[in-house]
Structure 1
Amino acid sequence: MSDVVSYPDGDHAGPMSELAGRTALVTGGTAGIGFATAHRLVHAGASVIITGRNLERGQQAREALGPAAQFVAVDMADPAGVGRLARNHEPDILVNNAARFPASLTVDQDENEFGHTFATNVRGLYFLVAATVPTMIHRGGGSIVNVTSMVASKGVPGASVYSASKAAVEQLTRTWAVEFGPHHIRVNNVAPGPTTTEGVAAEWGDTNEELGRALPLGRTADPAEIAEAIYFLASPRASFITGTTLHVDGGGTAV
């Protein structure tokens, strides 16, 4: 399914129909950027599957998103769970948002946390893509958006493990764009800057707000602002864009 489309008179399809008939899978879709992205995709007419580890929060998110959404409980660090997710769902759009983001100086980094972060942020994402792409190829195309981070290309104290995992994903994206492009599958990154979410606040505390104040725009992002960028790259509006990183970071990578 190639996502190159033509709009009559140069106009885009209406906001409630652009993704009609398409299925999107958003990992880590129960809160923060993932939930905002799921909401944006539902608004555009897609059927959306969200994943998360917390059953109660997942059910609440599904209810908030309405009948076009369903929730699947899965830990992206669990290979068996990732395998079940891929076998049971066939998305046209895959948004890899689930991630761990530990804050620790390198000399204080816990080895188990290091491994768990890479298991979630890199290994789980990698094998979900590997298992999902054959179905996309069979359908004639698809779109994959990986949510990375400003710190994948910028040094921030305390973010060594997280930033390294996201830099790995950005390189995977470039490789996948080349591998899957002939099958009409686009693969891109959205790299957010500091964003106000409950999860980030719990892990990073006031540091997240300090990072936001240091940006040229002088503030943190709202999750909905990141969701708009993800939606753009997932949608037919970005039909000739693949292998790129869209920095949604308030100018953070410019300084």
Structure 2
Amino acid sequence: MRHVLVTGAGSGIGREVALTFALAGDALTLADLHADPLEQTASLARSAGAASCDTVTIDLRRDDAHETLVAAAWATAPVDVLVSSAGVYPATPFLDLDATTWDLVLDVNTRAPVLLTVALARRAVAAGRGASVVNISSGAALRARPGAAPYSTSKAALEAATRASALELGRHGIRVNAVAPGFVTVDSSVNPVTDEYADAVGDNPLGRRGSPADIARAVAWIAGDDAGWITGEVLRVDGGSSTGAWNLPLHWSASTDVDRPAT
């Protein structure tokens, strides 16, 4: 049995990650900004078989949030797995950006996961224990999109931080990886998207949108012993959308005569 700390557990991918670890019989500490959906997740996790389930309602933008959250979780039991799933992605045209919007996205999406990893790693190293960290990135780390400059930047930075922390923490038995979802259909009042947007970005070679369960399975795998020799990696779970621009037409007709080298 492991002790798993999940942020952003109140809905979407974070909730599904929590339930996946619950089904494995793990003990959970779940965190979210919003108390009511967090308690709903906790109730579902207990019903699914979690060995125990504690909740912490917290704003990850607070300067002391990372230390407060990890200390609260560690007081129950040493943390074996940290999944940083909390994230925000407001749609803001570039010319409308201001410091408040920029800082909000970077604080939640990049700063919080990094500082949570620091807080966990300090305790794990002091206790002589290993740990596994999984950051939730995004396909936006590789491909910008209108209105998402701070979001794309935050996820690209998170992937760099994943590699940097993996490099320094590996010798202490702490693995740090990331899972980067493609477009995933979630029911979120915090980060809503329009049907038009979903149709535009949800297309991929495998022909379907992702689900939170697709991502949660990947998180559970890379956090576990079967991935024990993997660190500093970004696992892209996106239906193949990051492989290239697969849906463009051929740039010439298959029937067009082309010059070929003489044989």
Matches within 5 A, 1:114-193: 114-137=102-125, 138-193=127-182
Report the CA distance between 1:83 and its aligned residue: 2.2
Distance 2:134 2:192 in 1: 24
Distance 1:64 1:43 in 2: 10
Question: 8 Å contact 2:66–2:112 — kept in the other structure?
Answer: yes
In structure 2, what is the equivalent of residue 103 of structure 1?
91
Report the CA distance between 1:114 and its aligned residue: 1.2
Residues 48-74 of structure 1: CA deviation (Å, up to 9, x unaligned): 111111111111111111162221101
The structure 2 residue matched to 1:82, chosen from 66, 72, 85, is 66
Residues matched between the structures, number: 234
In structure 2, what is the equivalent of residue 225 of structure 1?
214
Q: Is the partner of 2:95 in helix, strand or coil?
A: helix
Consecutive unaligned residues in structure 2, runs of 5 or more:
245-263
The structure 2 residue matched to 1:248, chosen from 237, 257, 262, is 237
Report the CA distance between 1:226 and its aligned residue: 0.4
Matches within 5 A, 1:49-64: 49-64=29-44
More divergent stretch after superposition (33-42 vs 153-162): 153-162
Distance 1:49 1:139 in 2: 21
Report the CA distance between 1:135 and its aligned residue: 1.9
Question: 8 Å contact 1:79–1:124 — kept in the other structure?
Answer: no
Distance 1:201 1:29 in 2: 13
1:209 aligns with 2:199: yes
For 2:159, the aligned partner's letter is E
More divergent stretch after superposition (166-175 vs 103-112): 103-112
More divergent stretch after superposition (55-64 vs 223-232): 55-64
For 1:86, the aligned partner's letter is V
Report the CA distance between 1:82 and its aligned residue: 2.5
Question: 8 Å contact 2:85–2:135 — kept in the other structure?
Answer: yes
In structure 2, what is the equivalent of residue 12 of structure 1?
none
More divergent stretch after superposition (88-97 vs 163-172): 88-97
Distance 2:109 2:118 in 1: 15
Distance 2:105 2:141 in 1: 14
Residues 30-54 of structure 1: CA deviation (Å, up to 9, x unaligned): 1110010011111112101111111
Distance 1:31 1:85 in 2: 18
In structure 1, what is the equivalent of residue 18 of structure 2?
38
For 1:152, the aligned partner's letter is A
1:69 aligns with 2:53: yes
Q: Is the partner of 2:135 in helix, strand or coil?
A: strand
Question: 8 Å contact 1:53–1:75 — kept in the other structure?
Answer: yes
Question: 8 Å contact 2:88–2:191 — kept in the other structure?
Answer: no
If asked which structure has higher relative contact order (CA below 8 Å, sep 6+), I would say 1
Change (3 A) 1:110 1:203: farther
Report the CA distance between 1:111 and its aligned residue: 2.8
TM-score by length of 1: 0.87
Please tell me the root mean square deviation across aligned C-alpha atoms, in Å.
Answer: 1.5
Distance 2:144 2:111 in 1: 23
Distance 2:220 2:151 in 1: 24
Change (3 A) 1:183 1:73: same
